[in-house]
Amino acid sequence: MGKQTIAALILGMAGVAVILSPAAAQEKVQIGILSDFSGLNAMIGKGSLAAAQLAIEDFADPKYAVEIRSGDHQNKPDVGLTLSREWYDTGVDVIVDVPNSSVALAVQRLAEEKGRIVLFGSAASEKITGESCTKTAAQWGYNTAVVSRVAVNGIVAEGGKKWFFVTADYTFGNDLEKGARQALEKSDAEIVGGVKVAIGTTDYSTYLLQAQAAGADVIMLNLGGADLVNALKQSREFQIQESGVRVTSAFSEPSVLKELGPASAAGYLFSTSWYWNLNDTTRAFSDRFMSKTGDRPLMAHAAVYSAVSSYLDAVASAGSTDATVVMAKLKSKTINDVFATEGRLRADGTFQHQMYLMRGKGPDALPDAWDVAEVVAEIPGSDAFPPAAGSACSLVKSN
């Protein structure tokens, strides 16, 4: 921070802008953090803003003044589009984060129309880098296909052969199941059943007992938020794990396990692209983040830090904020940072990086209330991500 000073100003209903200005700054770079600041994923939004601030603090080029704007899309595509259009029209160079795939896909089309960049930290739809791919968008954190692939392959390798799905009947849940089914088709495991459940279901006992009756040795919960927490708690109440059945989900965050408590989270298997306690580098970042927010960072926050850092480095290297020039620079780099090992931005907009299969720790192994999981396996990006050649993205097919 030695060469930089920080000033903050409030931009009314559009959110907060934090300007970090080197003393001799001449060129402005404007970043918009579009996220959920008031809904079910409010923890993502507040943390993503903090992560972006940390990335700017670490950006050392005195030629640039960097401004952050933040806005709440309220999980509504029309609200997200209104904010994004206003930002792009008033000089924002890149929009980052955008949890909620419906909002993300709308903003992706707008970014293409405006010739601006959008970097998704936590939007999960595989459409973003599939049939809806664009030249100025990148999916930095993960997508439903890759987390399902990692979870399935890791659990099959551990002996999970008979699978049963409990799936929330909306886009996210169905996409997770679709990815798991595709991965299972390439294995020697079998699917013994599945059910679709409404969002907000509170009683999962019938479905868990149905899975047991079907002879499943793996129950995959394609759920999110409170639904996932409820199903996991009930799997413990019915002693599903104690009967030898693995209970898993394709993706989870430590905040879910922390809410569950160590007794319920013990043995729970899931995949992720990042965890705060992996090594000295992630722990140091986590300590800085916690001093700013009071919480440990989630995967989405590390992805936002990496995306903002990589974007700023590309701008400085290219000497330009032109979207085409900066995206070309990003795609030419191998990225190693707090989030990614041997990270590579592909032609379809997928940021390919390592993934992890994780297992929840028991109550006797928690030196930190946030240290709720341990690494079962680290999977290189080249193995974790489906090959680009199989992508539905026209940008891949045209190369």
87 within a domain of the structure (yes/no) = yes
| Co-location of 39 and 166 in the same domain | no
CB atoms within 10 A of CB 368: 11
User: Are 132 and 216 in the same domain?
Assistant: no
User: Does 361 lie in the same domain as 214?
Assistant: yes
Residues 12 and 83 in one domain: yes
pLDDT at 299: 97
Between vectors from CA 19 to CA 13 and to CA 24, what angle results, nearest 5°?
A: 155
Question: How many folded domains does the chain comprise?
Answer: 2
pLDDT digits (tens, 9 = 90+) for 257-268: 888 888 888 888
Residue 5: pLDDT over 80: no
Instruction: Report yes or no on 395 lying in a domain.
Output: no
392 in any annotated domain? no
Specify the 3-state DSSP secondary structure of 79: helix
pLDDT one-digit tens code per residue, 306-333: 999 999 999 999 999 999 999 999 999 9
Distance CA 211, CA 217 (A): 9
The residue among 113 and 368 whose pLDDT is bigger is 113
The amino acid that residue 374 corresponds to is E
Handedness of CA 263, 366, 305, 307 (dihedral sign): negative
Final residue in a domain of this structure, among 337, 353, 369: 353
Residue 2, pLDDT > 50, answer no
Confidence of residue 366 (pLDDT cuts 50, 70, 90): low
The CATH number of the domain where 247 resides is what?
Answer: 3.40.50.2300
Cβ atoms 250, 179 nearer than 8 A = yes
Q: Residue ranges of the alpha helices (H) in the chain?
A: 42-58, 77-89, 101-114, 144-157, 171-185, 205-213, 225-237, 254-260, 262-265, 280-293, 299-318, 323-331, 381-384, 394-397
Same domain, yes or no: 335 and 197: no
- Averaged pLDDT for residues 372-392: 92
Contact 307, 138 (CB under 8 A): yes
Do residues 263 and 244 share a domain?
yes
Under a CB-based contact definition with an 8 Å cutoff, are residues 327 and 315 in contact? Answer: no
Q: Is residue 393 one of the residues assigned to a domain?
A: no
| φ, ψ of residue 382 in degrees (nearest 5) | -65, -25
Grouping H, G, I as helix, E, B as strand and the rest as coil, residue 24 is coil
Residue 231 has pLDDT above 90, yes or no: yes
**pLDDT of amino acid 399:** 54
Range of the domain at 371: 145-272+355-384
Whether 282 maps to a domain, the answer reads yes
Residue range 355-367: average pLDDT?
84
Is residue 269's pLDDT more than 70?
yes
> Could you tell me if 78 and 212 lie in one domain?
no
Q: How many angstroms from the chain centroid is the CA of residue 36?
A: 13
Q: Identify whether 22 is part of a domain.
A: yes
Give CA–CA dist 286/51, Å, rounded.
10
Position 238 in a domain? yes
Residues 39 and 132 grouped into a single domain: yes
Are 149 and 261 found together in one domain?
A: yes
| Chosen domain end from 333, 353, 373 | 353
Provide the pLDDT confidence category of residue 60 given band limits of 50, 70 and 90.
confident
Q: Mean pLDDT, to the nearest integer, of 158-176?
A: 93
> Domain for residue 371, yes or no?
yes
Residue with the two structure tokens 């999981």? 373
Residue with the larger pLDDT of the pair 139 and 10: 139
- Mean per-residue pLDDT, 360-375: 84
124 close to 144: Cβ distance less than 8 angstroms: yes
For residues 150 and 238, membership in a common domain is answered with: yes
* Average pLDDT score over residue span 341-358: 97
Interval 124-151: pLDDT, tens: 999 999 999 999 999 999 999 999 999 9
pLDDT higher than 60, residue 345 = yes
The pLDDT-based confidence of 17 (bands split at 50, 70, 90) is low
The answer to whether residues 84 and 193 belong to one domain is: no
Long-range CB pairs of 88-94, under 8 A, 24+ apart, other chains included:
88/114, 88/116, 89/114, 91/28, 91/30, 92/30, 92/31, 92/32, 92/116, 93/29, 93/30, 93/31, 93/117, 93/315, 93/321, 93/323, 94/30, 94/31, 94/32, 94/118, 94/119, 94/311
Predicted local confidence at residue 91, as pLDDT: 98
Distance between CA 346 and CA 143 in Å, rounded? Answer: 14
For the entire predicted model, the pTM comes to 0.89
Q: H or E stretch including 65?
A: strand 64-72
Does 319 share its domain with 284?
yes
Q: Which two tokens stand for residue 337?
A: 């940072």
